Structure 1
Amino acid sequence: MSAVCVLKMFIARRGKPYELWSDRGTNFRGGHKELQSAFESMAPKLQQQLAKQTINFHFNPPYSPHFGGTWEREIRSVKSALQGVLKDQVVAEEVLLTALIEVEGLLNSKPLGYASSDVADPDPITPNLLLMGRRDAALPQAVYGPHDTLSNRRWKHSQVISDHFWKRFVQNYLPGLQLRHKWRKSTDNATVGQIVMIVDSNLPRGLWLVGTITKVFPGTDGVVRAAEVKVKDSIYIRPVTKLVELPEMPEDSSGTSSN
């Protein structure tokens, strides 16, 4: 599928972006040149009208994949999880497409930080909230057994794939968000009042528990290795290796807030 077709699908789903960042893959560069060529072949009056719809393309320097570390890490985590789930399994295009769109929803529902307006009940900020201006719209998830992968109902097959993806993603990717050095350098202890996300692969997919640390349990060496976390009306005690600290998102300078 050409980069231009993918861009048109993205715009139809999310709206026209102001700018795009990517590596210097031939598909991306080719799509950019194709759009430029199509624009230059238009009549001057039409060019003038469409100039307001310009999309700024930004390409990484040659031989510098690390410049795209922010998105490459997300791509790698999705690829690794899907490869582990699908292995050599061949699935129908309809099943794979449904599963990939569900994966997209999972990634866009991941908490980025929290709103400081009410620390007693943290309000996580997610990509979906920024994209759609509302909370994640996912339906409550049912859990299916491994035997359902052989079901002739394609929608159920796609749900099983999404469930397996969720477990591998939570197990392999989220713990990496915690910066933990070995003996050469100490890290800051967890403290009361911190807003954290609990890593738990046993929860239904898309369910991110975000709460406030209410108590810490230091060892004899003073290092905190476990903490008590309050999530709404529930209390969880978890090792700090299963907690991901969320940053406080800055207030909107205009004073407005999302609904």
Structure 2
Amino acid sequence: MWRGKPEVPRMADLPPSRLRLFKPAFHSTGVDCFGPYNIRVGRRSEKRWGIIFKCMTTRGVYLDLLNSIDTDSFLMSLRRFVSRRGTPCELLSDQGTNFKSGQRELKEAFAALQPTLQSLLAKQQIKFRFNPPGAPHFGGTWEREIRSLKAALHTTLGGQSVTEEVLRTVLTEIEGILNSKPLGYVSADVADVDPVTPNCLLMGRPDSSLPQVVYPASEMLTSKRWRHSQVLADHFWSHFIRRYLPSLQPRSKWTKDTDNLQAGAVAMIVDQHLPRALWPVGVVSHTTAGADGRIRSATVQVKDRAYTRPVSRLIRLPALPEDNKTD
């Protein structure tokens, strides 16, 4: 019991959200908040938070600034995101109260519409998918991007307090840098094909700081702009499938199969904020399986409370004696 460790299941295959091929950017989007950061407003100091929307397939990012971390700020930021990048099919996030409350308010607003409008807008509803509590690795795609932008912010601003306009400008420039990162391996041979970037699909060119490429008339299929944009999109997806997608398949860790955690099993919940002797112990009441059939999260009943945690935060224990179960 004192030396037990969680049994992490074998790494799953790529989820459908990572494979939305030939779909618009931000079709499946991960969202998270970061901060706070101090800004100067006159002679006083105030806090601002950042929010990141990350395309799960093309790895494009959209950054915005929040005045607070509440539901209203999140919904207004979501409206700005939808106006600029389009309505996503699904939003993936952690169990933040602002995200949960935002989903509830959107559902209530949709239910208040007339039936005719509901039928017309049903296809534009956003599906919210929440990760289990205490499972940051479930959102590793956007958590790693937050690490990159925090490093860029630290390099740019350091510890100084700036105005809100400066902070917003820096975030926008960092967004352009992150969207200019190449997808996949970058070859040192100039004869090799250049890797694609998220900006190739978002802007039609790999880098926002470069001028628009002028194609000769002989290379254009037609003078119509929509056909030109279609050629660029086809170029992006062909390189994405051939050169970048295969690099996502190897499993770097969690390569061994483990026995699935079953309902009725006794488990200890790992809590890094408490000493091991105080970690709660309970009975697994419900399990949630992934697309591959392996159990990824479970609900543990500890006395009168239920805790939902990933399997990587649960330690399987021997069954309790019958006399302890009845107490």
What TM-score results when the alignment is normalised by the length of structure 1? 0.50
TM-score of the pair, normalised by structure 2:
0.40
Return the structure number with greater strand share: 2
The structure carrying a bigger helix percent of its residues is 1
